[in-house]
Chain A
Amino acid sequence: MLSRLHSWTSSRTLAIPARLFSQTPIVPAKPLPPRLKINDSDISISYLKGTGPGGQKINKTNSAVQIIHKPSGVVVKCQATRSQSQNAKIARSLLADRVEAQEKGDKSRVAIKAAAAKKKKASKMKKTRRKYRELGEGAKEGEIEEEEDEIEIIWDDDVKEGENEETESETRGEAKSSEGSGKGV
């Protein structure tokens, strides 16, 4: 009896698809260009010289790694983690980014990434500003109508996607509308 119940519940949970939180399909961002590879054969390691007793007598916690790229003179230092191997990995990817930025300028991976982030932020700011402006107007004139909202969407391309999401979710019950408003802010 118990086993049957168990099988019933498990089949039930399997049958229901995971609920999506967003109604719009997730569009993957444009893939970034691959990171510049720095050859292992081009790497040499030097150690920062220490003085005084070592071994069992002291217990250092310093794990900093510093990489110098000789042709370009770029210096990167990393002490993010306590493991030097991890620090070396991080420093190497940082260095690759720096060297690429120096070589390619605006077309480098970092520049593209920064530009995308900047655009996203600008659009978000615009949306926020508009929302508060509307709220301010709403306080003066009373309630604004739904249709007016939609007319506005048409002239603004940047905001269109996010706005659509919001209005759609508002039409579907309470649980979603709270989520939509969370997104809007």
Chain B
Amino acid sequence: MIKSVVSKEYQELQKEIIKLQEKWKLQLDPETIRPNLDKAAMEAGVPVAALTAIDFEISLFLQWVEEINALIIKSIPELEPKLAGIASLLNEEIAINWIEEAFAFNHLYFASFAEENGLEEWIPQFLAETALRPYLQLTAEKVQNEIHRAVPGAGCPVCGEPVRLAALEDEGKKVIHCPRCLAHWHAKRLECSHCGNENHKTVQFLTIEGDSVSQIQVCDECNGYIKIIDTRQYISQPSAALLDLNSIHLDFVAQENSYNVVGEKKQTN
């Protein structure tokens, strides 16, 4: 219902994928995920997922990949010829590789995998990432009570995804949501999540005329940005993944203004 630059069909597809991930998450035995909450490592910015032992069930992972395939083909029939061959390519060994490389967000591996097998570049990583998320989300759910803040620049304290989305809640509390693992944590209202800059002169806000709920927080120290959405104005609270998708126009605006998804501290000579 919320107006978005994203097409209705694609929003519907994403909603279905999120529903599937919810369903898959419930199929997982919580005992297969054993986080090791090392305080020192967490304070240094090591994501919890890297400190967690997860027993992946390969057959389940393969089944999920097939389910996503079926869903995409149902929603966008033109993609069928491009996706049809995937099932025969996948075996246990490749699935293990996919999980590991998706976990590490190794896009180079997936790009070369796609090239070797004559697939379009987006396909392998998209499928692997989508099927991996239920594990990350369950991990986040398990440790959510221990996640209070993040180390600036280290990304999501659970899965390591760069910070890019915050919501304003309650009396204006800035809560950062990870659209990948759905973990959330509190951040200072005037702090760059990429470099920790707290200088009010260099942390600025861009707003879009006619968009009363969104702002882009930009940092002139590291040139990074995050999107801040006042979700208190929404009638019903959308999930972080959908919020991230529907606010994609903010990413365009920020990047056109030469700000980056991940901030980088300028080198001083």
A and B from one complex: no
